Each structure stands twice: as structure tokens, then as C-alpha cells.
Amino acid sequence: MKIICAKNHEPGAREMRAVYAQSVVKLIEAGEPVLVTDADLMRAIGVLPYKEKYPDNIFDCGIAESNMIGVACGLSAEGFIPFTHSFGTFATRRVMDQVFMSGAYAKMNVKMLGSDPGVCAALNGGTHMALEDVAMMRAIPEMTIVEPTDAVMVEDLIPKIAHTYGMFYIRMCRGKAETIYEEGSEFDIGRAALLREGGDVTIIAAGREVVEALQAAALLEKEGKDESANYEFSGGVFSGSCRGASGPDGADRHTGQVRRSRPGRRAQGALRSDGGGHRRRGPEGRLQKVKRECIGQCPV
């Protein structure tokens, strides 16, 4: 993990969707068994220009998101690395059963992208605003949630996600995002990046809200607080990542969170969880099994 913070946070020159498209195409060109599927939104996510050149790797499944997930799970069972895409609402709510049963329960290797989550949908309206996608995906065993902050993070994480076996939900905006990291930054999935030190307040954010958290820290500093500590997550949230978020004497700082969607109990639960139940497949693709005993019998 190598973090190089940008000196200013102006919108980047590259759109997030363009970087995503270029990243998966690079994997295809490198000979990786990557297949890209979409639900009639190929132009919206930037992969349409590459479809003609790579017709055997890029597919449009039409406005049939649940079927797309089923197709992706089948491709995974055959040894491919499928990426799927739709808007955040349709990438989660509409496909829940297929994601759970065909994907997580069957321990498949599918990378799901939900674009414009939270209120990023803007003029598309409330029907396209995924406010509960994180809560739903966190409830699924084997699922890892990743929310890239800017184009630099997208470019670094997409290959790592492709090379990490398991179910992934990636949530990100499609347009240009404020630059938080300089080129050359490297990230670890599931590990927090400390963007600035502090002694009084800890602010935890992900995705587009990281820039808001940094602005909040600057305001708190003006009010006399001892520079807020800002944590940014590039993957699943584990309390181990935040154990350093305490004062020098071990006393807890005030901790806050910044999200695009409702600041409900789901994020609080994520922060309180110690990640003890999280199991991933190893390099050989074998699941680290957890032995369980069934006490008593289930009623008929």
C-alpha cells in the first residue's frame, strides 16, 4: 500500500467510467479470462467502443439484470472472471436472489459494478438512487464491497479485484471525481488509508465523500480541533482498520462517518464488526472452511 495524497482536489481529467473500461480492456488484452457483461448500459459505462474489437469478451445481456447475474455465475463456474454492470439500484435490488444463490452460495467469482450509487444518479431521479445497496450487499456472505474514490484508485483496484477470487460489489460514480490521490498510489483491498493525522476527531469516509471529509477536517481545524484524522476505505470495512483511531493515551476520539446515502445503522454495524466472520478463498481458489456444529434439531 502506497498513498500519495494530491495537493489539490480538483476534478480529475478522466471519467471514472472511462478508467473502468480501460482497466478491464487491459486485462482482456493481457490474455486474462475476463468477460464483461452489461444490462443495456454499455455506452453509459464506457465499454461500448471496445465491443466491436473484443466481441468474444464483451456482451450485452439487455435489460435483464437477474439473467445477467445468472450468466456471469455460469461463466465463473467455467473458469472465467466475469464483470457485470448496471446502475446501482438494478445491480443490487433487482438481482438479490441470483447474487445470493447462484453467486455467493455457490461460491462463484463474479465482480459486480453498480454505477451512480447513493444520490449520484442526479437527474435520473429517485428510482435510480441506490440508498440501500451497501446494506443489502453486506448481508450476503462471501461478498466484498469496494468503493473507489477517484480515477487513480479505480485504475489500481480493478486488476486486484480481478485477481482476488470471490464475489465483489463495486460502487462508483460514472463521471469525473475530485482527485484525492496522485498517480502511482497503490491500495490494499479492505485496508484503510490514513489521509491526515489528528488527535481529537476521526472521520471515516469512502468514495466521493472523502473530499467532503477532508473539507470537514479543515473546518474543525479552524475551530481549534487538533486536526481530524481522516480514514478512507478502499474495500470492506473492518474494525481492525480503525483500531489506531484513538488518542495517544488510548482514549477514543469522536468518530463520525460520511456517506452519500442514509447514515443508518448499516455503516455503524460495519465499523463495530471485527471482521471475524470474513473468509476468502486462498490463492489456490479453495475456500477457507469454518467448522460449525449444529446443536439440537430443527423443528419440522
Please tell me whether residues 23 and 171 are part of one structural domain: yes
**Domain containing residue 252:** 192-272
Identify which has the larger pLDDT, 119 or 168.
168
Please tell me whether residues 133 and 236 are part of one structural domain: no
User: What strands, in cross-sheet order, belong to the sheet with 229-233?
Assistant: 192-196, 229-233, 201-205, 254-258
- Classify residue 125 as left (phi > 0), alpha (psi -120 to 50) or beta: left
284 occurs within a structural domain: no
Residue that finishes a domain, picked among 149, 178, 207: 178
200 occurs within a structural domain: yes
Q: In this structure, what CATH number is given to the domain that contains residue 165?
A: 3.40.50.970
Q: Which three cell numbers stand for residue 295?
A: 446443536
Backbone phi, psi, residue 296, to 5°: 80, -175
Provide the pLDDT for residue 229: 59
- Scanning the chain, the segments in alpha helix (DSSP H) are 16-29, 42-45, 48-51, 65-77, 88-92, 96-98, 133-138, 151-162, 210-222, 265-272
Which of 58-67, 75-84, 108-117, 227-236 has the lowest average pLDDT? 227-236
Please tell me whether residues 132 and 242 are part of one structural domain: no
Share of the chain above pLDDT 90, in %: 49
Any catalytic annotation for residue 65? yes
Q: How far apart are CA 251 and CA 62, in angstroms?
A: 54
Please tell me whether residues 162 and 55 are part of one structural domain: yes
pLDDT range class, residue 83, cuts 50, 70, 90? very high
Please tell me whether residues 55 and 165 are part of one structural domain: yes
Output the pTM of the full model.
Answer: 0.79
145 occurs within a structural domain: yes
The stretch 86-104 carries a mean pLDDT of 94
Please tell me whether residues 83 and 217 are part of one structural domain: no
Please tell me whether residues 25 and 174 are part of one structural domain: yes
Residue that finishes a domain, picked among 121, 156, 178: 178
256 occurs within a structural domain: yes
92 occurs within a structural domain: yes
2 occurs within a structural domain: no
**What are 175-229's pLDDT values in tens digits?**
898 999 999 999 999 888 888 887 777 888 888 888 888 888 888 888 876 655 5
Please tell me whether residues 96 and 152 are part of one structural domain: yes
Identify which has the larger pLDDT, 113 or 233.
113
pLDDT greater than 50 at residue 237? no
Identify the bridge partners of residue 115 per DSSP, sorted by sequence position: 87, 172
Please tell me whether residues 165 and 46 are part of one structural domain: yes
As for how many domains the chain has, the answer is: 2
162 occurs within a structural domain: yes
Query: Which of the residues 65, 147, 155, 232 is marked catalytic?
Result: 65
Please tell me whether residues 134 and 255 are part of one structural domain: no
Please tell me whether residues 35 and 150 are part of one structural domain: yes
Please tell me whether residues 129 and 209 are part of one structural domain: no
Residue that finishes a domain, picked among 113, 144, 178: 178
280 occurs within a structural domain: no
